Each structure stands twice: as C-alpha cells, then as structure tokens.
C-alpha cells in the first residue's frame, strides 16, 4: 500500500486536488462518485497506519466527528465502504481566521460575530461531552457569508473515552499561543480549556496581539503558567472595559476563575454592555490584570533607571580616574 495521489480514485471518491499535507496526513478535495458532491478526504500517511495507538486516535476523531451536528462545525460523512483508513468531511470553501486577520485587528462587530459563533459551537460540544482542545485561527474557517466552521478534531477528547498516548503526539497536544495553563501541565482539560482558547482568539481579533509575546516557546509556556496576562487596554487605548472584563475572565490562569460553561460566556458576548450590571465580580480579572500591567511597567521603569544610574556612575568614575593632561611646555627663549 502507498499514499494516494491526485487523479486516483479512493473507493467512491476521485481525488481532485491536494489541499494540505502535515506530518500525519494529507487532505484532498475529492468528488463523490455516487452523489457528485465535493468533499474533503483526510488520509493518514501509510507509514502511520501500522501504529496501533495512532490508528485508534484517528478512529476516535472520526467517531467524535460523525456524532456531531452543528452549523458551525464541519460535518463528517460516512462512505459506503472503505478499503483503507481515511475520513470524509464536507468541503468548505472559505478562508481561515488566520488569513482573515493578517496580523491586524478585526472590526469589533466582526470579531464579536466570529466569537459568538465559536462560542455557540463550544456550548454544543459541551452538551455532547466533547472538548476540542485545539481552538486556534488556523482551525476556524469563514465562508463568504461569514459563517464559522470549526475544523480538526485530531486531539479532541470525549469524556467517556479512555486516555491514549502516542509518542509523536505527546508534545503537540495544543498550540502554545492558545494552550491553557492546565494543558501545559499535562492535564486532559475540559470545556474551560476551550473557553480559554476562545478568549485568546477574541483578544487577538480585537487587538492584533496576544497577551504573552515571548518569541521563545518555552519562555511563553512558563509565562502563561506563572504570569498574569496583559490586559487588552495595554495595546488598545480606551479598550471597552466590559469586553476587557469578559476576555480576562475567559483567560484566567486558574480554570476555577474562568467561565464554568460556554453558555455563560455566550450570554456575556451577546450583550457585553450589560456585563458590569449583571456580574460586578467580573471586574476582578480585569483589576488583577491591570495591577499586574502597572507592576510590569513600574518594574521596567526601575530597571531603566538603575541602568541609567549605573551608566552615569561608570562615566563619572572614568572621568575622575583619567590622568591629567600634561601642560604645554613653554617656548624656548632665543638667545
């Protein structure tokens, strides 16, 4: 057996184009020979099919996907028969949220619309006992009409399933920028893990930044586990205080302080202006983050002041210890 290529048929599907290729699988656009519908096929690399744990994880992704039915989640389809391991999904014509942002903030109305759709999907997943665990801009597609479609349930977790470990996946259970602190510590996570990731998405959509900006992945993970996030107002002056409170509650380092259910976050996102009146305690996350930001600013200023003082002392020391310049010799009197 070998990896399939464009132009070949795989059971009832004619492979038309290679859409993406990762270290574990290839995704093809294909045509269903029975219905004429365009679909997407995810086919694992042949050398991985012999790995029992990988095969079980791949099968779990398909099983989780096939039991889901929500307008903001990509639909998994059932082929009539399969001659090898692969999964079939609806083909979505759209653009990833990453491509849409292009490193810049989105208009507030658009960012909130995306967040509300993702939140609705998370509430549905919660009702099904499923945690996605890899919510990030690359896994969110937007159609031309603005409809959100969540993709990639490769590391999703069903509450009733047992834990599987596989060497090639053990270091990739999430994406550092969007991983919750409990994921960093190796815990399985629950709906609050996905809520954290959505909070990070909303932060990024509205500011063009993330609250932790270390270029070193290990330093980033350490910071997320031990430091308070910068508030959105650190990057955007006059940031809406209600939205800031919502975001900071969603990305609390301690999951006990986050929204306990996706429905609670959906409620606040539906009317951010009413948040302060409805839940005065919501401002706690905002106050902690702002205090932390002030401390960080003061600490930075103190470091600069100390460095300047040391520089001045070195300059004065060099100045005082320099040998005096010899005086010019008087001119020799001519006789």
Which residues are catalytic, by number? 134
Residue 137: how many other CB atoms lie within 10 Å: 19
Reduce the DSSP state of residue 92 to 3 states and report it.
coil
Q: How many CA atoms lie within 13 A of 286 on its CB side?
A: 18
Map tokens 């815990």 to a residue: 187
Q: Which residues contact 47 (CB under 8 A, 6 or more apart)?
A: none
SS3 334: coil
Whole-Å CA distances, 252 to 26, 181, 225, 313: 36, 9, 10, 43
Nearest to 206 by CA among 101, 92, 285, 296: 101
Spell 231-255 as b/e; 16+ CB within 10 A means b.
bbbbbbeebbbbbbbbbbbbbbbeb
């Amino acid at each position: 057996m070998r990896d399939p290529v464009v132009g070949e048929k795989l059971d009832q599907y004619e492979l038309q184009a290679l859409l993406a290729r990762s270290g574990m699988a290839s995704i093809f656009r294909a045509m269903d020979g029975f219905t004429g519908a365009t679909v997407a096929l995810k086919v694992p690399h042949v050398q991985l099919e012999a790995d029992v744990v990988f095969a079980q994880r791949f099968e779990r992704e398909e099983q989780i996907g096939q039991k889901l039915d929500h307008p903001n989640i990509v639909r998994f389809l059932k082929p009539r028969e399969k001659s090898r391991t692969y999964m079939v999904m609806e083909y979505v014509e759209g653009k990833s949220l990453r491509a849409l942002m292009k490193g810049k903030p989105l208009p507030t109305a658009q960012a909130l619309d995306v967040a509300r759709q993702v939140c609705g999907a998370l509430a549905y997943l919660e009702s099904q006992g499923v945690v996605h665990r890899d919510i990030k801009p690359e896994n969110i597609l937007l159609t031309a009409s603005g409809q959100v479609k969540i993709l990639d349930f490769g590391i999703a977790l069903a509450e009733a399933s047992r834990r599987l470990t596989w060497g090639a996946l053990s270091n990739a259970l999430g994406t550092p920028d969007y991983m919750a602190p409990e994921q960093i510590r190796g815990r399985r996570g629950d709906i609050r893990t996905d809520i954290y990731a959505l909070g990070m998405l909303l932060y990024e959509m509205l500011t063009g930044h993330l609250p932790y900006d270390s270029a070193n992945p290990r330093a980033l993970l350490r910071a997320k586990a031990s430091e308070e996030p910068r508030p959105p107002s650190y990057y955007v002056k006059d940031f809406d205080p209600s939205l800031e409170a919502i975001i900071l509650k969603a990305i609390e380092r301690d999951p006990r302080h986050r929204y306990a259910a996706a429905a609670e976050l959906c409620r606040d996102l539906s009317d951010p202006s009413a948040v302060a009146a409805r839940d005065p305690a919501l401002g706690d996350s905002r106050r902690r983050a702002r205090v932390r930001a002030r401390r960080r600013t003061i600490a930075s200023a103190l470091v600069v002041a100390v460095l300047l003082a040391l520089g001045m002392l070195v300059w004065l020391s060099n100045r005082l210890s320099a040998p005096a310049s010899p005086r010019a010799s008087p001119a020799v009197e001519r006789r």
